[in-house]
Amino acid sequence: MQNTKIKRVFYLTGCMPAIASIALGRLKVSRFSDLNDPFELMGVNVGDKAVRKAFKATRDKLNEERGMICFTTNWKNPLMWGHYAEKHAGMALGFDVPSDMLTEVTYAKKLFDLKLDPMTKKPGPGTVERLISTKFYDWGYEKEVRMFVALDLDAAEGGMHFVPFSDELKLREIVLGPRCVYKIEDLRALAARVSEKPINVTKARIAFTRFEVLENLAATRADGDLGD
């Protein structure tokens, strides 16, 4: 049997959500209706009223039955830190995930056209898969990949859903943002308590010669020297 290919992906969030995720060993699942792009599940041209009605029903059904965890393949983009990690004060959590559990987002410059099945008046085969992975072209800087999750309403906590860390969602890195006030040694201690295998904890900084976020090697080595 061939070995499953593993992909390193990153989940950017604020400090407190990151610490809670590490301590509890789980990630929060996002609902389509909670995402910051109103075009989620609406990457199709719905100028026709019948198409619009069918896709609203599809969107509502997907929002009730399926959620996702959104990752990026590149934690070094400053926009990602600004938008998702408390203006660079949060953290990036790096996970190893089987590639076949991840769906790459397609960034499109225009809505795609699609006709409904003449018999069922519903979107045809493959439409849902295309909808859940299509975003507007200008979101491309996110380099997003998604892990889709079937929602178990009985397991919800206060209306929220979570996925536990596992062999298919292995925490391997913790990157403290350039403005993060938590000390590296504290995060290393937390990581050691929740994982038998070492988790790499590093500190990030703003690059000096280009628009990028990089590892702050000096601060990482100094174990708590958060200057520079």
The structural domains of the chain, with segments of one domain joined by +, span 6-37+66-112+126-222
Position 226 scores a pLDDT of: 38
pLDDT per residue, tens digit, the chain (228 aa), is 456 899 999 999 999 999 999 999 999 999 988 888 888 877 878 787 877 777 778 788 888 899 999 999 999 999 999 999 999 999 999 999 999 999 999 999 998 877 777 777 777 777 788 888 999 999 999 999 999 999 988 888 988 999 999 999 999 999 999 999 999 999 999 999 999 889 999 999 999 999 999 999 887 775 544 343
According to DSSP, the residues that pair with 108 across neighbouring strands are: 136
According to DSSP, the residues that pair with 72 across neighbouring strands are: 10, 144
Q: Which residues of 57-94 are buried (b: 16+ CB within 10 A; e: fewer)?
A: ebbeebbeebbbbbbbeebbbbebbeebbbebbbbbbb
Position 2 scores a pLDDT of: 57
Query: How many CB atoms neighbour CB 105 within 10 A?
Result: 18
- The pTM assigned to this predicted structure is 0.89
Position 222 scores a pLDDT of: 58
